[in-house]
Amino acid sequence: SLLSDVIAPHEIGVAFDDIGALEDVKCALKELIITPLKRPELFSKGRLLKPVKGILLFGPPGTGKTMLAKAVATESGASFMNVSMSSITSNLNGEGEKYVKAIISLASKLSPTVIFFDEVDSMLGKRENPQEKETTRRMKNEFMVNWEGLLTKDYERVVVLAATNRPYDLDEAVIRRLPRRLMVSLPDAPNRERILKMILSKEALAEDVSLDSVANMTDGYSGSDLKNLCVAAAGRPIHDLLHREKKEKRLAIAEGRPEPELLTADDIR
């Protein structure tokens, strides 16, 4: 449906190796989620050590929270369900309760499963809106009850990763269901260089490109900003080629020569 994607483990297409930087977050996710999902038997003995059922990833936009959640599913051999909170609240008038139930029950059927609640603050924000419709309020309740159901079943291999850019807007009930919180911060210069290397690993680069100096010029850029920068830069040679083509054509006309042929991809430099 439009509101959520369900992806089988081998079709997710993002693994930890595709994510530059964020080493400490990856490490924590491995310990808290991946190992328990892959080897539940190790956690079946004691009473203290229970598998973690929910983690909040918080940090600025574009820092790789969605990528991390997908990679966790890949690394655990789990199905991935991407549930966009904002589209649930804005699109489901009255149908929300049924939908929430369906998500949770599908997740159990596909288990092991990683459910990703993106923009978790948009549905469950703490500021009570007096105009909030009764249907929305009921849906929220239903959501919380079903979520609670997941938490109480230790044997069920379903985990929730939730993401937000606004951790301070979450209400108590949500925080309680996400006992671990990991900060996904903006990359520093060495990590920006790692991310750039990752993004450009399959591209032909000019010899004089220094990723080190690009990393030093991009203070405050997120991984997503770096990706956009690379896409813009990748378009530049074509822009230059078209410009050259136009100049050569103008020159030929001025000198009374026949129009030159169009340039090809081999002429890109």
Which is nearer to ligand ATP, 22 or 32 (by Cβ)? 22
Of positions 195, 200, 214, 215, contacts ligand ATP by CB under 6 A: 195
* Least distance between ligand ATP and beta carbon 29 (Å): 13
Tell me if 112 contacts ligand ATP by CB under 6 A. Answer: no
Phi, psi of 118 (to 5 degrees): -85, 150
Tell me if 20 contacts ligand ATP by CB under 6 A. Answer: yes
Spatial separation of the C-alpha atoms in residues 223 and 239, rounded to whole Å: 25
Phi, psi of 31 (to 5 degrees): -70, -40
Tell me if 218 contacts ligand ATP by CB under 6 A. Answer: no
Question: In the numeric block, which tokens belong to residue 159?
Answer: 């985990």
Of positions 173, 198, 229, 263, contacts ligand ATP by CB under 6 A: 198
Stretch that binds ligand ATP, among 15-23, 97-105, 148-156, 243-251 (CB under 6 A): 15-23
Tell me if 67 contacts ligand ATP by CB under 6 A. Answer: yes
* Least distance between ligand ATP and beta carbon 118 (Å): 6
Tell me if 22 contacts ligand ATP by CB under 6 A. Answer: yes
Residue nearest to ligand ATP (CB): 223
String marking each residue 224-243 x if it binds ligand ATP according to CB under 6 A? x--x----------------
- The site for ligand ATP, by CB under 6 A, has a size of 19
Spatial separation of the C-alpha atoms in residues 179 and 181, rounded to whole Å: 7
CA distances from 123 to 57, 156, 239 (A): 16, 25, 43
CA distances from 52 to 36, 113, 114, 174, 268 (A): 8, 13, 12, 15, 52
Of positions 125, 165, 167, 237, contacts ligand ATP by CB under 6 A: 165
Tell me if 223 contacts ligand ATP by CB under 6 A. Answer: yes
CA distances from 34 to 13, 52, 119, 135 (A): 17, 10, 22, 36
Q: For the packed helices 134-152 and 96-110, what is the interaxial angle rounded to 10 degrees?
A: 20
Tell me if 7 contacts ligand ATP by CB under 6 A. Answer: no
CB atoms within 10 A of CB 50: 12
- Cα-Cα-Cα-Cα torsion 153, 101, 115, 118, nearest 10 degrees, comes to -130
Tell me if 61 contacts ligand ATP by CB under 6 A. Answer: yes
Binding site for ligand ATP (CB under 6 A): 19-22, 61-67, 163, 165, 195, 198-199, 223-224, 227
